[in-house]
Structure 1
Amino acid sequence: MNALSRWTGRAVGALAALASLGVLVMMLHICADIVLRTLFDAPVPATVEIVSRYYMVLIAFLPLAWIERRNAMVSVEITDAALSPRMLRISDALVSLLVTCVYAVLTYTTWRVALREWATGTYVLALETRVPVWPTYFLPPLGFGLAALATLLRAAMQLAGGPAAREGAAS
């Protein structure tokens, strides 16, 4: 399980770094579009389409596993004070398993959509230019799938009584 946890940690870090790079490239792309449009009346073609269909999808879905691995997702802890440490660990593990199931369903559903969009070669038109967008449909299942793995590992560590702490120690 340690090897799987290490591999997951590296994959999670790589996807988070890719999403961070996406933010940087998006900012440069938008700045270039503004400068070229303002100074030379020559905007970068398909900026809106690329930002909304590539960068935003990349930024939204790839860091999910990183957030889950750090246990930094929003949570409500109303009953936690009334639970014993053992019951709290079991409660956290059950929540992690439920979240794993949700991510697994989302992975399966978005994977099927990605395959359909790939088969049809989905694109958008931007000023009579075809911008293929089918590749971006594979980003959500990648993010959801790795998040499912991260939450499953967290549940296993919680059930085993390991260091899957509540405040981000699993990073």
Structure 2
Amino acid sequence: MSYISGLADKLSRMLAFVAAIGVLAMMIHVCADILSRVLTGASLPATVEMVSYYYMLLVAFLPLAWVERRGGMISVELLDFMLSPRMRRVSDLLIAALGVVIYAVMAYASWLTAVRNYETGTFVVALQTKIITWPGYFLPPAGFALAAIIVTVRLLQIITGNEEPAREHQA
């Protein structure tokens, strides 16, 4: 189980790193667009489309696994303090199982959309330039699927009693 947990850590960190590169690329692209507007009076072509169809998807969906692994998702614990340790474990088990199902359904649904857009060759036109957008549609299913894997690892840890503490404050 520790091998799987370590692999999940590495994978989630790698995706968070890729998303961080996406943030830097987006910042550079937007700053270059602003600089171009100030110096030449014209924007860089397709900046809005690149931000909308690539950068934002990269930043929003790839780090899901990392956030799940660190225990950083929003949680409401209204009744948690009233539960016995055994019932708290059952609650954690049910929540993790529900999380796996939700992430898996979202991965599947977004995968179908991505494949449909790939098959049709989805694109947008900006300033008479055709910008292919279908590759960006594969980022949400990747993020959801990897988050489902991370929550599955957590579910297995709960089942086997090898739960790890939340990693909210670790780098």
Q: Same fold (TM over 0.5)?
A: yes
Distance of 1:107 and 1:16 partners within structure 2: 18
1:44 corresponds to which residue?
44
1:153 corresponds to which residue?
153
Distance of 1:130 and 1:115 partners within structure 2: 20
Contact 1:37 1:43 in 2 (8 A): yes
Deviation (angstroms), 1:83:
0.9
Please report the TM-score for the alignment, with normalisation by the length of structure 1.
0.94
Contact 1:107 1:144 in 2 (8 A): yes
Contact 2:110 2:140 in 1 (8 A): yes
Q: Output aligned runs, 1:16-55, within 5 Å.
A: 16-55=16-55
Contact 1:92 1:158 in 2 (8 A): yes
Q: Output aligned runs, 1:1-171, within 5 Å.
A: 1-166=1-166, 168=168
Contact 2:45 2:126 in 1 (8 A): yes
Unaligned 5+ segments in structure 2 are none
Please report the TM-score for the alignment, with normalisation by the length of structure 2.
0.94
Letter in 2 for 1:125: V
Q: 3-state SS of the aligned residue for 1:162?
A: coil
Deviation (angstroms), 1:158:
1.5
Unaligned 5+ segments in structure 1 are none
Identity of aligned residues (%): 48
Deviation (angstroms), 1:166:
4.7
Deviation (angstroms), 1:85:
1.5
Distance of 2:108 and 2:129 partners within structure 1: 32
Q: Deviations over 1:88-121 (max 9, x none)?
A: 1221121011011000000111111111111111
Give the number of equivalent residue pairs. 171
Contact 1:90 1:159 in 2 (8 A): no
Contact 2:69 2:167 in 1 (8 A): no
Q: 3-state SS of the aligned residue for 1:124?
A: strand
Distance of 1:24 and 1:63 partners within structure 2: 15
Q: Deviations over 1:25-83 (max 9, x none)?
A: 10110000000111112321100000111100111100111111111100010111111
